[in-house]
């Protein structure tokens, strides 16, 4: 099956298009138009002649030109018949938004859907899914309006989600935090294309640096395991497994019709395949933004720079608790920092620049540690509440991060003023955290994966 047609179609038909702004079929047409999809958009509805100034067709077979992709949002019982018409039309990709299949016990209807797609070689996502967003080609089959859920900018993270709700929340958070996305796909019940097919496809996507995966269960355990093991040799995979508890497993069955499986087995598979397991949505972001934006690093020696002694202490604890090491600064580094700092600054690692430090003092320390061969990664803790700290610190941190000499993470605890500067840093590709523990845990995952890559 041509999976690529889902992400890069030349034309799209919306089956179930509607003039009613409250209907999913209306939102889908609007999102394709407002998102700037470059090819023809064909609304399909036998009761309408025009929707949002686009000619509407009774059937996909009535469209004069070719149709690459069909997005289907109609009652479940009509879906197999519409897919059959798509097959006869020569449509090669379909996204079935409609629910009402195996997740509610309607297995026979889902089997009919699968049989039609297999007969006509239709690459089909769903049913019961949100489909695809590709910022590059402006494909957007997510049925949530853009004013309710943001769309991330173009970037290097691809997110594969079994759940539409989790996928939607992650998309909105990515947009809010300035995250860059290569591709998003929600596959729902996975009747035709499942997580294994999608991981294989994304693994070969040269625009994707890191794959993020949310799964509740897998259909082809052995193939999934073998595929994941090969994919992590190419690029990192961050995975969150839902349905680990008995209650969660039961909820999974009624959500996407999947069997959750034994949590310990999944954990062992992830560890053996060198996939980075996240325990919650926060960790997905904490890990992913570091993997996406910073160079790989198999060294364990961390340099810490702050303008607050307490931050330095907590960061040091985090380094040791996560199996990393405090770097020993070179004699040359200590000398350069001493020459540019007041006598009351104790030049060692962790380096507390003192509460009166400004951008210049931070700039010297950061650049010295970037050049110090004894330092593998740098954690910069900035208290924006202090008198001499302002936006100039943001500029120097962005400039230093852009050099890509070694991983650099920034911790900015605090309220609104700190949050504003954190968002600026994030939008400029600097991984920023509210806690040193979150930052260092993410760094430990990057180090673990980097060691694996370097051994290959």
Q: Report pLDDT digits (tens) over 212-250.
A: 999 998 989 999 999 999 999 999 999 999 876 555 455
Domains and CATH numbers, the chain: 1-129 (3.40.50.720), 149-293 (3.40.50.261), 296-455 (3.40.50.261)
Q: What is the pLDDT of residue 179?
A: 82
Q: What is the DSSP letter of 53?
A: T
Q: What is the pLDDT of residue 262?
A: 74
Query: How many of the other CB atoms lie within 10 Å of CB of 160?
Result: 23
To which H or E segment does residue 306 belong?
strand 301-306
Q: What is the pLDDT of residue 255?
A: 43
Q: Return the structure tokens found at 226.
A: 């073998």
Low-confidence ranges of the chain (pLDDT < 70): 244-261, 456
Which residue do the tokens 């949050």 mark? 419
Q: Which of 324, 323, 321, 347 is nearest to 334 (CA)?
A: 347
β-bridge pairing 50-51 and 54-55: antiparallel
Q: What is the pLDDT of residue 456?
A: 59
Q: What is the DSSP letter of 212?
A: E
Cis peptide before 350 (omega within 30 of 0): yes
Q: What is the pLDDT of residue 165?
A: 87
pTM as predicted? 0.89
Q: Produce one character per residue of 348-383: b if its CB has 16 or more CB atoms within 10 Å, e if not.
A: ebbbbbbeebbbebbbbbbbbbbebebbbbbbbbbb
Q: What is the pLDDT of residue 254?
A: 47
């Amino acid at each position: 099956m041509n999976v690529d047609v889902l992400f890069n179609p030349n034309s799209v038909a919306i089956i179930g298009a509607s003039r009613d702004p409250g209907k999913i079929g209306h939102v889908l047409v609007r999102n394709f138009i407002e998102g700037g999809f470059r090819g023809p958009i064909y609304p399909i509805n036998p009761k309408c002649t025009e929707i949002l100034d686009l000619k509407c067709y009774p059937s996909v077979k009535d469209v004069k030109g070719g149709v690459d992709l069909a997005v289907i949002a109609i009652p479940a019982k009509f879906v197999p018949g519409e897919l059959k018409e798509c097959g006869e039309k020569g449509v090669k990709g379909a996204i079935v938004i409609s629910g009402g299949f195996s997740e509610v016990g309607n297995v026979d209807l889902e089997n009919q859907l699968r049989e039609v797609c297999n007969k006509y070689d239709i690459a089909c996502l769903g049913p019961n899914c949100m489909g695809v967003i590709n910022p590059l080609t402006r494909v957007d089959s997510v049925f949530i309006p853009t004013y309710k859920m943001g769309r991330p900018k173009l970037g290097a993270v691809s997110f594969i989600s079994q759940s539409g709700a989790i996928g939607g929340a992650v998309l909105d958070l990515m947009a809010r935090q300035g995250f860059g996305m290569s591709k998003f796909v929600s596959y729902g019940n996975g009747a035709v294309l499942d997580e294994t097919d999608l991981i294989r496809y994304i693994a070969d996507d040269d625009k994707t640096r890191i794959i993020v995966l949310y799964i509740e269960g897998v259909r082809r355990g052995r193939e999934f395991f073998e595929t994941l093991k090969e994919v992590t040799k190419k690029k990192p995979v961050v995975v969150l497994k839902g349905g680990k508890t008995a209650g969660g497993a039961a909820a999974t069955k009624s959500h996407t019709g999947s069997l959750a499986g034994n949590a310990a087995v999944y954990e062992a598979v992830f560890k053996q395949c060198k996939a980075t397991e996240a325990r919650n949505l926060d960790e997905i972001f904490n890990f992913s933004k570091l993997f996406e934006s910073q160079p790989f690093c198999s060294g364990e020696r961390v340099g810490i720079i702050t303008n607050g002694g307490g931050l330095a202490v907590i960061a040091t604890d985090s380094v040791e608790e996560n199996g990393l090491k405090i770097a020993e600064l070179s004699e040359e580094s200590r000398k350069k920092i001493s020459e540019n700092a007041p006598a009351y600054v104790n030049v060692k690692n962790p380096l507390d620049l003192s509460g009166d430090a400004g951008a210049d003092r931070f700039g010297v320390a950061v650049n010295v540690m970037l050049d110090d061969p004894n330092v593998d990664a740098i954690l910069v803790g900035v208290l924006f509440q202090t008198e001499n700290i302002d936006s100039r610190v943001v500029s120097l941190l962005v400039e230093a991060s852009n050099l890509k000499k070694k991983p650099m993470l920034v911790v900015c605890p605090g309220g609104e003023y700190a949050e504003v500067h954190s968002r600026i840093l994030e939008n400029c590709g600097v991984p920023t955290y509210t806690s040193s523990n979150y930052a260092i845990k993410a760094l430990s995952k990057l180090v673990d994966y980097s060691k694996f890559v370097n051994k290959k």
